[in-house]
Structures are given as structure tokens and as C-alpha cells.
Amino acid sequence: MGFPTLEFLTRADPATFVVYGLARDPRIVLAELAKAGPDFLTLTGRYAVLPDAGNDIRISSPGWIDVTVDERLELARTDDLKLLCREAVLHSTSNFSGPLRRFLESYLNFIERHLRANSHTLEPAAAEVFAPDDWIFSAYLPMPQARVLLAEEADDGGPVFAELDAVFFHQGRLICVIIEGAGMVRKSVQRARDTLFEGLSSLDVVRVSKDAFAAEAFPADMFPDTFVNFWEGLDMPVGPCPPRL
């Protein structure tokens, strides 16, 4: 796959490029990626190239969070690492995105609660090495404030992105989360979303009311079972942010 490319979502190059987080202008991220050449990273804290980054993007997926050696030495417990990941996710959203932050907090709380409630069902094989809590990093990584590159070009020839509140990548499919009830959607935003939804077949849309989630309530029934029971099919838990080699 070569860069720069506006051939995402086409038959020739079906990769999906997702900018997420605090990037103000996704075109800047795309331009930087283009400069990186063929050795570009497939998952960083600012973008994901799918499915090159893996068929599932989980909290344990390498690349989305960087931890320095010093920080790593201070992470003595699973809880410390969990907190670091939680803060990194929340920090990747605008201070002024109230409903989205609440959604993320609700999701992050849910995966902990859900894991705890199901810890007795988890494979005990590696119990002497892993604690049940370690499975938390197998949960799917939310990529908030997502901008998905479209195959079309803007009038000025530049790239066009579809804005979504958050996306997950689960079993090779993009789960697009749209939070509703937080204001009317601009026509241009809706048009881009419609283009994405029509153009990408491996995609599911989850429309969730801003009133449907809270700190202790997450609409898990709107997501696939294998997404909710994120540990299923895995042999053992893997921690996040392995050192880059």
C-alpha cells in the first residue's frame, strides 16, 4: 500500500484510514503519514490504518499509547496501567465534548464491571501468571472524535473525511458510534457519513442517545456479543504499550 493515497475504500485499495483524537485538521495527519513513506505505522495515538493495524483493535494493541521507560518502571500494578490507558483515552477528546466524554467514561466503567461480573468464567489456565483484571486490556479500544477518510475528493481536490463520535474496530468491521440528541447535525457532516455508510460494507452503525448512557449504565446490548465479551476466543491477556522494537 502506498501513500499518499486517496484510494481508501476502493477495490484497488480497500484500507480504511481513521484519524482520531484531538487532531484539529485530519488533513495534516494524512499529509504527515504520506511523508512517512512505506514504513508508516499502522496504529498511533492519532490514526489507524485498517485492517493493517489488525483485525481487532484492542487496548492491548501496540502503537496507540506510548509509555516511556521511566513510566513503565513506575507501573507496578494492573490498576496503574489501567488508569494510564483510561486517561489516555479521555485525554484524546476535546474538553468541550461532554456527551462523548460521558460515553467513553461509561464504556470504560462498563468493561471493568463486566469483566468483574464474568471473572469466574475466564480460563484459569494461566492464573498463576495473570490476574483476571489483566483481561481488561483485551477490551476494544475506543477511537474518539474519529474522522474516516472517504474515497471522494473535495471541490479543492483535498481529502474528505466523515466525522463520527467514536469508532471501534472489531473482527474486521468498523463500529461507528453516533451520539444522538446533542444537537442537530450539519448537512455536510451527514452527507459525508452517508457516503461512508454507503461505501464501506464492513461497517456497523450504533446510534445511541446521549441519555442512554451514564457512569453506571452502558448500552451493551447495542454492540455485538463478541465485542462485549471481549475475552472470548483469546488464549491469554496481553498488556498494552509493549516497547517499540
Minimum CB separation of residue 94 from another protein in Å reads 7
Q: Would you say 24 or 35 has its CB closer to another protein?
A: 24
Count other C-beta atoms under 10 Å from residue 164's C-beta. Answer: 26
Site mask, another protein, residues 127-166, x = CB under 8 A?
A: ----------------------------------------
**CA–CA dist 46, 32 (Å, integer):** 11
Smallest distance, Å, CB 163 to another protein? 9
Q: Does 184 bind another protein (CB under 8 A)?
A: yes
Nearer to another protein, 27 or 210 (CB): 210
Q: Do the Cβ atoms of 1 and 25 come closer than 8 Å? A: no
The DSSP code sequence of 143-196 is EEEEEEEEEEE-TTS-EEEEEEEEEEEETTEEEEEEEESSSPPPHHHHHHHHHH
- Which residues inside 54-113 make contact with another protein, applying CB under 8 A? 94-99
Q: Residue 64 or residue 103: which is nearer to another protein going by CB?
A: 103
Kindly identify the residues of this chain, within the stretch 14-33, that bind another protein according to CB under 8 A: 24
Size of the site for another protein (CB under 8 A): 14
Per-residue b or e along 116-129, where b marks 16 or more CB atoms closer than 10 Å to that residue's CB: eeeeeebeeeeeee
Q: What is the CA radius of gyration of the chain?
A: 18
Query: What does the binding site for another protein look like in residue numbers (CB under 8 A)?
Result: 24, 94-99, 182-184, 186-188, 210
